[in-house]
Amino acid sequence: MSEAANRMILRVSRPVRRVIFLSVLAGAAVSGLYAAMALMSYGLRLLTPVLIVAAVLAGRPLLVLCGRTFVGADRILVRRVPIGRIDVPLSEVGLVEIRRGLLMEWPVLYLRDGRVVELAAPMRFWFRPDLDYERDLGELRAQIRHPVAGIHPQWNLLRLVAGPVLTLTAIILILIDPPWASDVWPLRPHAKRLPDACTMLDAKARRLLPGAQVDHLFSRNDDADTHVMRHTCQWNATRPAPDGATLIDVGRLSIVVELDHGIGPTSDADEAHRAFLRETKIDIGGNEARVPHMGDEADLIVEHPGSGFAWVAVAVRKANVEEKIDLIYQGRAREREAALAAVGLAKLGISEIKFG
């Protein structure tokens, strides 16, 4: 190999290089987005899956692209990253065989001492003709002066299985928690303003609680804070007592809607998540259950079970908005009815907010 001017440099064929280059770009883009979203959402706890995805989607194709085979007058030098360089004297080569994987095929050298050396190049897609590959393979055979060890290419079981398994693993890791579903995904729709809280549910509140009136003492729209918009409304329903001089509480409904803006490195959705955690912190004796298929996270809370009234709360977060519904009915027997009504109100409230 000292006569550098006389040696041949074999690479993977041009069509393979094009596809691998595009794969590396796509893999790097997907891996980068996955890494950014994962690390921003979970920190270093998700470092291992990030490294696996990057290695499979970007690193593995790049290693194939860097492979070279140098053929000189008396020896072959194989460069396979990350294995390194393998120096093979031509006099040690006994046979040449073509191996085939899921998409590619490449030559393999059988040495006289029993070793097998896989060449990094030439390489082509086995299912399509490739003049560059045929030319390089012909020159390699002429230099070695040994016949091919078989008429038909031999399937490589390890390559046939390993490639799809690794790729499928990376895809599954991404789909378990896809970047585009992350709260910090830049294209994720977020709310920029909130509707009036009383207007959102007024008609529904008056149907649920006949005679209900808005309590203006607990109803307001506060948009003064640049980091948090908070809109609240409360409806009270009463009826006259038998003596006609006092009023008896029949029920109460309240809604609190909060739109959060991130502070510093904290995203808008992270701030809303913190608000959600504060609202779902149950008191001693309370019961909590997850509500599926509502926003990004939602909980149903039964307050003070065993008391003489049914008090149910539903907290839901979608993107950077957190909403809480509190519904109180007179009489413990109406707890299930209150729970269903509160869930319906929470869904209605979130649907009234525009995300974009």
User: Does 46 score more than 90 pLDDT?
Assistant: no
SS3 18: helix
pLDDT at 126 over 60: yes
pLDDT > 90 in the chain, percent: 38
Tell me: pLDDT of 282 over 80: no
Q: Is the confidence at residue 23, as pLDDT, over 70?
A: yes
Angle between helices 157-176 and 47-54 (to 10 degrees): 130
Residue 2 has pLDDT above 50, yes or no: no
More confident call, 220 vs 308: 220
Q: What is the pLDDT of residue 5?
A: 47
Q: Does domain 197-351 have CATH number 3.40.1000?
A: yes
Token reading at 142: 């002429």
What pLDDT is stored for residue 264 in this prediction? 66
The CATH T-level fold of domain 4-181 is PH-domain like (2.30.29)
pLDDT at 182: 65
Q: Where in the chain are the domains?
A: 4-181, 197-351
Mean pLDDT, rounded, for 24-39:
80
Q: Is the pLDDT of residue 138 over 50?
A: yes
Higher pLDDT, 22 or 34: 22
- Residue range 328-350, pLDDT digits in tens: 998 878 899 999 999 999 999 99
Q: What is the mean pLDDT of the chain?
A: 85
Q: What is the mean pLDDT of the segment spanning 187-192?
A: 82
Mapped onto helix, strand or coil, the DSSP state of residue 245 is: coil
Q: What integer pLDDT is reported at residue 52 of this predicted model? A: 83
What is the Rg, in whole angstroms, of the alpha carbon atoms belonging to the chain? 34
Query: What average pLDDT does range 276-297 have in this prediction?
Result: 86
Amino acid at 344: G
Q: How confident is the model at residue 45 (pLDDT cuts 50, 70, 90)?
A: low
pLDDT (mean) for 233-251: 82
Of residues 191 and 32, more confidently modeled: 191
Q: What is the pTM of this model?
A: 0.58
Looking at residues 237-254, what average pLDDT do you find? 81
* Least-confidence region, from 124-133, 176-185, 222-231: 176-185
Q: What percent of the chain clears pLDDT 70, i.e. is strictly above it?
A: 89
Which residue did the predictor score with more confidence, 1 or 177? 177
pLDDT value of residue 285: 62
Q: How far apart are CA 151 and CA 247, in angstroms?
A: 98
Three-class DSSP labels, 250-316: EEEEEEEEEEECCCCCCCHHHHHHHHHHHHCCCCCCCEEEECCCCCCEEEEEEECCCCCEEEEEEEE
Predicted local confidence at residue 141, as pLDDT: 83
